Amino acid sequence: MFVLVLGSAAIASASATLLLEEPYGKLGFFTATGHAAVYLSDVCAETPLKLRACEPGEAGSVISRYDGVGGYDWVAIPLIPYLYAVENADDVPLYADSRLVNFLRDQYRRRHLEDVAPDAANGAAPGGNWYELVGSSYDRNVYAFEIETSAAQDAAFIERYNSSANRSHFRTVSRNCADFAKDVINFYYPKALHRSVVADVGITTPKQMAKTLIKYSSRHPELSFSRYVIPQVPGIEARSTPVHGVVESFLKSKKYIVPSAIASPIFAGCVVAVYVGTGAGRFDPSRQALVYSAQRVLEEPIDAEDRRSYQLELNHLLAAPSTNEATQARSEKLKHLLRSAVPDFDADGHPLLRIRQGSDLLSVGISPSNVFENGVRGSFMQELLEARLRAELKKGVPKVSESDVTRDWDLLQRAVNNSNNELAAQRGKLLPISQARVERTGGNRP
């Protein structure tokens, strides 16, 4: 409870949060520097191109720079749409694939981003990087570094950015996304962030911005500071990869360092010396990070022992084989169902999937707000929620808190109990996770 109070208090006050976003996809193959943006808790987007002070209850906005977005230098998006491409936290999909994500992004664009990314001539979604503005958490893990601000600073920021020319002059070396984040944070705290001439050969990188913000906060303990991770939404798409600086990316990429070492061992040795000397590899953005959820609660991640315990209990309660082959088979079945589904919204505007089974067209809720409506088949939701829990409990970057697991476990229990197939009936009634764990461990674990 103490941690929850601290986390809620940290988010409740005005703050500027540097978002360090992992690389993903084809671009991540060539460069591992990722992306940077800034979340301002008390600065809201009247439009994507105009800022205003937030009203009570509003969650602020993310302001960022992308190349190829309507010729604009920056665009502001409300926090939840920026992360999840939906407007309400309860509508965040429990599990996602590219077809659903593209649908949610385009629907949000049509409602709110037509001035920035208008329809193509044929009425379809346009090209360009506008899709990066919404649904970031479907693509990658995001690390957040939050520092306290004031209402006066926010007012000055709004005045400055609303009155300045918002035209893009994007350059990879000197006016990239990390340069923009640096300028925003330095507006609040001059000279707080700076590039590294040695570790990043003078290019501003998201990782360097995070490192310098942490150093600045340690020199100013009077300013509240916190760090947390916004996990990538579980789904069938590839996971994002660790973020690096320029020299670190070069050294850790075989496609770059191996040919260089062959062509010039001296040059390769210099790269290693810079990497070791600057300590580029020692910075872990997930260190001491709390876990964020769309419901705006920060909590401690579950520890390794609890994670393993939950995994074992999941296998037992589902009577599911835990081999890699069995898990992969269930994953492939779910992947096929999702890729053949048609995304849509229900009458209340919540996302759903329309799945054809034989001659029937089933409407399946995909978010906590409607997951058990429309007479959903429990077997499908059981497979989906099992895949979500396994993704959350997988070893790696902190992804889940105790309350996240408990919520998803309760949903899984309902799905199993609602299942009409014979296999689910044979499993019987599931116990709540806390009771099941106590019975299986003889009451020795908390």
**String of DSSP letters for 55-123:** PTT---EEEE--TTSTT-S-EEEEHHHHHHSSSSGGGS-SSB-HHHHHHHHHHHHHHH-TTTSPPPTTS
CA angle 12, 14, 15 (to 5 degrees): 105
Instruction: Kindly state the percentage of the chain with pLDDT values over 70.
Output: 80
Structural domain boundaries in the chain: 2-243+285-292, 248-282, 302-441
The secondary element (H helix, E strand) that includes residue 45 is strand 43-47
Q: What is the pTM of this model?
A: 0.86
Q: Which two tokens stand for residue 212?
A: 């310098």
pLDDT tens sequence across 271-303: 666 666 666 667 899 999 999 988 767 999 999
**Chain CA centroid to CA 401, Å:** 15
Overall average pLDDT of the 190-208 stretch: 90
Question: 211-220 contacts: CB < 8 A, separation 24 or more?
Answer: 211/283, 213/18, 213/145, 213/147, 213/185, 214/145, 216/147, 216/189, 216/192, 217/145, 217/147, 220/189
Give the confidence band of 1 by pLDDT, cuts at 50, 70, 90: very low
pLDDT of residue 97: 92
Q: CA 11 to CA 17: how far, in whole Å?
A: 10
| Residue 189, pLDDT score | 98
pLDDT confidence of residue 373 = 76
- What pLDDT, in 10s, does the model give residues 318-327? 776 556 677 7
Cβ atoms of 48 and 75 closer than 8 Å: yes
Q: Please write the tens of the pLDDT for every residue from 214-239.
A: 999 999 999 999 999 999 999 988 89
Helices (H) and strands (E) in the chain, counts: 17, 13
Instruction: Find the helix or strand (DSSP H, E) in which 290 lies.
Output: strand 290-292
Integer Cα distance of 314 and 309 in angstroms: 9
For the four alpha carbons of 28, 255, 280 and 199, in that order, the dihedral sign comes to negative
Number of Cβ within a 10 Å radius of residue 414: 17
Mean pLDDT taken over the chain: 84
Taking residues 320-344, report their average pLDDT.
Answer: 78
Amino acid 321: pLDDT:
59
Looking up tokens 């835990």, which residue turns up? 322
Sort residue 202 into left (φ over 0), alpha (ψ -120 to 50) or beta.
left
In this structure, of 93-107, 263-277, 284-298, 386-400, the range with the lowest mean pLDDT score is 263-277
Distance, in Å, from the CA atom of 20 to the CA atom of 185, rounded to the nearest integer, reads 13
Per-residue pLDDT band for 9 (boundaries 50, 70, 90) equals: very low
Q: Are strands 225-230 and 290-292 parallel, antiparallel or unpaired?
A: parallel
Average pLDDT over residues 181-202: 92
pLDDT digits (tens, 9 = 90+) for 402-432: 999 999 999 888 887 776 443 434 444 555 5
